[in-house]
Amino acid sequence: MSGHPAEPWRVKMVEPLRATTREYREQAIRAAGWNPCLLRSEDVYVDLFTDSGTNAMSDRQWSALMRGDEAYAGARSFYVLEEAVRTHYGYEHVIPVHQGRGGENILSRCLLRPGTHVAGNMYFPSTRAHQELNGATFHDVIIDEAHDPDDEHPFKGNVDLGKLKVLIDAVGAGTIPYLSIAATVNMAGGQPISVANLTEVAELAHHHGIPVFLDTARAVENAWFVKQREPGWADRSITDILRALCAPTDGAVMSAKKDSLANIGGWIGLRDPELAEQARGLVLLYEGLHTYGGMAGRDMEAIAQGITESVDEDHISARIAQVEYLGRRLHTAGVPIIRPVGGHCVCVDATATLPHIPRTQFTAQTLAAAVYLDAGIRGVERGGVSAGRDPRTGENRFPPLEFLRLAIPRRVYTQSHIDLVADSVIRVHRHRDRITSGLAFAYEPSHLRFFQARFAPVRGTSIWD
């Protein structure tokens, strides 16, 4: 008995997967510089690298593609997207961008200057990279519980208001152009923020004249956790809760590749007409005209349809239950994972799994390579490699959490795939003593280094004896 609902969809089209041998995978990961990111996708059996843009679209989304209006200016599809965002997220000004980071670039360029400060509930790599490129310093004001993999706090994405007040007092509200709040917090393992906390954060920020921008990539998943866990919300619809999360904020940056069940796209949502005008001006330079922002008309149609499907209660509960199921299987078998299980991923605590591999040898990167070797499953490192170097000191940053993230694409894999993943990760954990070497950089890119970095085993020719 699986203990979770059967998938609320049936398969209409299939994409074959190719099984590989252990020898083949050993060669493939070596050729990829021990970085699963550099593997070819056809060499991967179950791809849990990301839930971003890897969603299976519905028959209705594929039909919507045919309605795409590819006019350069004023396309009908733009107004369809605008209406869907206004209805579900509640932002008046909707500016399309090619994907989330396009929006981060625009917002950062509009508001940040050298010497400014941005605070948020833990960093996200592309978000912080754009903030730092524009001269700002990012400050993490998430609650301490978020950094403890075993803490069962129901809202590990919450902001510590005390930390936020200390920061405002220290640097002055005038040097903080905005707060950058995420729902859910990806880097903490998909942990939600409560409506109450977000509302209080916005009140404090607004009291100091600081606007709040929400990263809504997984705000629907966040809404589901609010419904389950936050007093007073159990009887409200996901649609209502999503609106309640957005209501106290001044705007949002959205990657439609997550919640919205699309393969590409994003938008910026704003309330301030002047800021919206400034943002549209920059979108013209960096993305495309302000009524397509780097997307095809059909992409905007697929996102609009995806937004309405994303808030469907059967969809969202089955989606999160599948993630929870994988987490439960690993936890029951004694694999150390971040608790509680988040909305889009299961995170295996790498330092607890491989205590004999020091963090200077990139423990989670090593675990990611080992999990690929075992059965062709691809996850991603979230730890020292992802954190990069401090731009001022040039030193490696080692965040408190060092984990292997297994992100589950929406509506893509079945129960048997998830069981295969659980079996493999449990096997790697049982054989952890045979993972005898960590990794060192063979090539280190300067930005978002986890994507293109290459490594070599520190000792011997493999990580596994």
Ligand X SMILES: *Cc1c(COP(=O)(O)O)cnc(C)c1O
Contacting positions for ligand X (CB under 6 A): 52, 99-101, 124, 126-127, 182, 186, 215, 217, 255, 257-258, 266
The helix (run of H) or strand (run of E) holding residue 213 is strand 212-215
Asked if the peptide bond before residue 184 counts as cis, ω within 30 degrees of 0, the response is yes
Q: Which is nearer to ligand X, 101 or 329 (CB)?
A: 101
Q: Which is nearer to ligand X, 82 or 215 (CB)?
A: 215
Q: Which is nearer to ligand X, 100 or 342 (CB)?
A: 100
Q: Which is nearer to ligand X, 99 or 437 (CB)?
A: 99
Whether the Cβ atoms of residue 215 and residue 138 lie closer than 8 Å to each other:
no
Q: Which is nearer to ligand X, 61 or 351 (CB)?
A: 61
395: three-class secondary structure by DSSP: coil
Least distance CB 344 / ligand X (angstroms): 8
Determine the Cα–Cα distance for residues 386 and 365; give it in Å rounded to an integer: 10
Pairing mode, strands 212-215 and 251-255: parallel
Give me 274's structure tokens: 């002047």
Whether the Cβ atoms of residue 379 and residue 48 lie closer than 8 Å to each other:
yes
Least distance CB 334 / ligand X (angstroms): 29
C-alpha distances (whole Å) from 307 to each of 118, 185, 303, 342 are 29, 20, 6, 21
Least distance CB 57 / ligand X (angstroms): 16
Q: Which is nearer to ligand X, 339 or 344 (CB)?
A: 344
Residue 141's nearest CA partner among 165, 125, 124 is 165
Least distance CB 73 / ligand X (angstroms): 24
Point out the residue whose Cβ comes nearest to ligand X: 100
Determine the Cα–Cα distance for residues 459 and 353; give it in Å rounded to an integer: 19
Asked if the peptide bond before residue 340 counts as cis, ω within 30 degrees of 0, the response is yes
The helix (run of H) or strand (run of E) holding residue 406 is strand 403-407
Least distance CB 209 / ligand X (angstroms): 25
Least distance CB 124 / ligand X (angstroms): 4
Least distance CB 274 / ligand X (angstroms): 24
Q: Which is nearer to ligand X, 41 or 416 (CB)?
A: 41
Residue 429's nearest CA partner among 359, 350, 357, 360 is 350
C-alpha distances (whole Å) from 373 to each of 191, 268, 462 are 29, 40, 11
